[in-house]
């Protein structure tokens, strides 16, 4: 009867195991099966109790004294963020955690560039946990999403280029954007004009020079040409009319730019 009384108490509140003198193995197992974190109140737990605790909550690993490799692997396999409870995790455990979430990098002290790259390729915003990320890490993160620029204090020019090419909205995530910056960004993505700062003006000549530098290339991106031809706001922003845009492509565009333009115009016939 006394044993069943204790078991009922434990089922109602697993933490009560702390106040039971000399609890039986059944009581210990009942406690951790109800709440794995009750393991913290069980001194010298058996392997069975440890495994039952982990099965209930991976975070229970923090209460396993000198956990063996297989339990560590089990804990990380269940939840990547249990990496924070493991002192001096092995490379294998780190890789296992990063495979689940790049955010696990926050629990890796002084991560190598290789590990940082793995993290941001898994989750671009894992870069927010990195101090002074290298150019390669910045660029890998921004390749995942231009939103990564939000977390980079000093982005490289290449990181800016990748971000703006992937999404013109990226310009809003950059601090202290100058007119020279915008003219450069226009060569990456002409739709940057959508997010021109209110106190900044771009002349027709400035725009045409920026566009000309891109459309004259043999490897001009198809999207760039199509955006330039179709983006009607260009007409109002810098007073560059549709016929003037076509004339610009005809006069300065590479063969590829002209082919893309003809294809784009034929689509609407």
The secondary structure of 75-137, three-state, reads HHHHCHHHHHHCCCCCHHHHHHHHHHCHHHHHHCCCCCHHHHHHHHHHCHHHHHHCCCCCHHH
Average pLDDT on 165-187 reads 94
HSE-up (13 A, CA, CB side) for residue 86: 29
Task: Show the tokens assigned to 25.
Answer: 């193995």
Distance CA 208, CA 212 (A): 6
Using CA atoms, how far residue 191 sits from 33, 81, 141, 150, 244, in Å, is 57, 40, 22, 19, 17
When pLDDT is cut at 50, 70 and 90, the band that residue 1 belongs to is low
Identify the sign of the CA torsion 214, 215, 218, 222.
positive
What pLDDT, on the 0 to 100 scale, is given for residue 190? 94
| pTM, rounded to two decimals | 0.86
Sequential DSSP letters for 125-139: GGGGG-SS--HHHHH
**What's the mean pLDDT when you consider all of the chain?**
93
With 0-12 / 13-18 / 19 or more C-beta atoms within 10 angstroms meaning exposed / middle / buried, residue 219 is exposed
Sequence-distant (≥ 6) Cβ neighbours of residue 158 within 8 angstroms? 135, 138, 139
What pLDDT, on the 0 to 100 scale, is given for residue 49? 96
Distance CA 192, CA 194 (A): 5
Asked if the model's pLDDT at residue 233 lies above 90, the reply is no
Average pLDDT on 138-156 reads 97
Backbone φ and ψ for 94, nearest 5 degrees, come out as -60, -45
Distance CA 253, CA 79 (A): 54
Asked if the model's pLDDT at residue 173 lies above 90, the reply is yes
What pLDDT, on the 0 to 100 scale, is given for residue 177? 92
What pLDDT, on the 0 to 100 scale, is given for residue 235? 63
Q: What confidence tens digit (pLDDT) does each residue in 248-266 have?
A: 999 999 999 999 999 887 7
Using CA atoms, how far residue 41 sits from 5, 48, 59, 86, 135, in Å, is 19, 16, 14, 19, 47
Asked if the model's pLDDT at residue 55 lies above 80, the reply is yes
Asked if the model's pLDDT at residue 269 lies above 70, the reply is no
Distance CA 28, CA 45 (A): 8
With 0-12 / 13-18 / 19 or more C-beta atoms within 10 angstroms meaning exposed / middle / buried, residue 25 is exposed
- Is residue 134 within 8 A of residue 154, CB to CB? The reply is no
Tallying the residues shown for the chain, one arrives at 269
What pLDDT, on the 0 to 100 scale, is given for residue 240? 84
Q: What confidence tens digit (pLDDT) does each residue in 2-38 have?
A: 888 889 899 999 999 999 989 999 999 999 999 999 9
Asked if the model's pLDDT at residue 188 lies above 80, the reply is yes
């Amino acid at each position: 009867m006394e044993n069943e009384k204790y078991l009922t108490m434990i089922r109602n509140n697993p933490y009560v195991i702390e106040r039971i003198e000399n609890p039986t193995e059944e009581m210990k197992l009942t406690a951790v099966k109800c709440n794995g974190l009750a393991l913290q109140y069980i001194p010298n737990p058996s392997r069975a109790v440890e495994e039952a605790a982990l099965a209930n909550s991976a975070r229970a690993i923090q209460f396993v004294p000198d956990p063996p490799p297989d339990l560590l692997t089990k804990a990380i396999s269940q939840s990547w963020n249990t990496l924070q409870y493991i002192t001096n995790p092995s490379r294998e455990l780190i890789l296992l955690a990063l495979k689940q979430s790049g955010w696990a990098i926050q629990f890796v002290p002084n991560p190598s560039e290789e590990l940082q790259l793995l993290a941001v390729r898994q989750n671009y915003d894992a870069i927010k946990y990195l101090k002074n990320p290298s150019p390669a890490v910045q660029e890998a993160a921004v390749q995942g999403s231009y939103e990564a620029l939000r977390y980079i204090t000093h982005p490289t020019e290449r990181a800016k280029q990748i971000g703006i090419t992937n999404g013109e909205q990226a310009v809003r995530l950059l601090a202290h954007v100058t007119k020279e910056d915008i003219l450069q960004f226009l060569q990456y993505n002409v739709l940057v004009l959508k997010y021109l700062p209110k106190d900044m003006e771009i002349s027709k000549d400035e725009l045409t020079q920026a566009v000309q530098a891109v459309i004259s290339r043999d490897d001009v991106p198809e999207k760039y040409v199509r955006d330039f031809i179709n983006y009607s706001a260009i007409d109002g922003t810098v007073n560059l009319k549709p016929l003037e845009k076509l004339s610009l492509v005809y006069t300065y565009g590479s063969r590829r730019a002209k082919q893309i333009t003809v294809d784009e115009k034929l689509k609407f016939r």
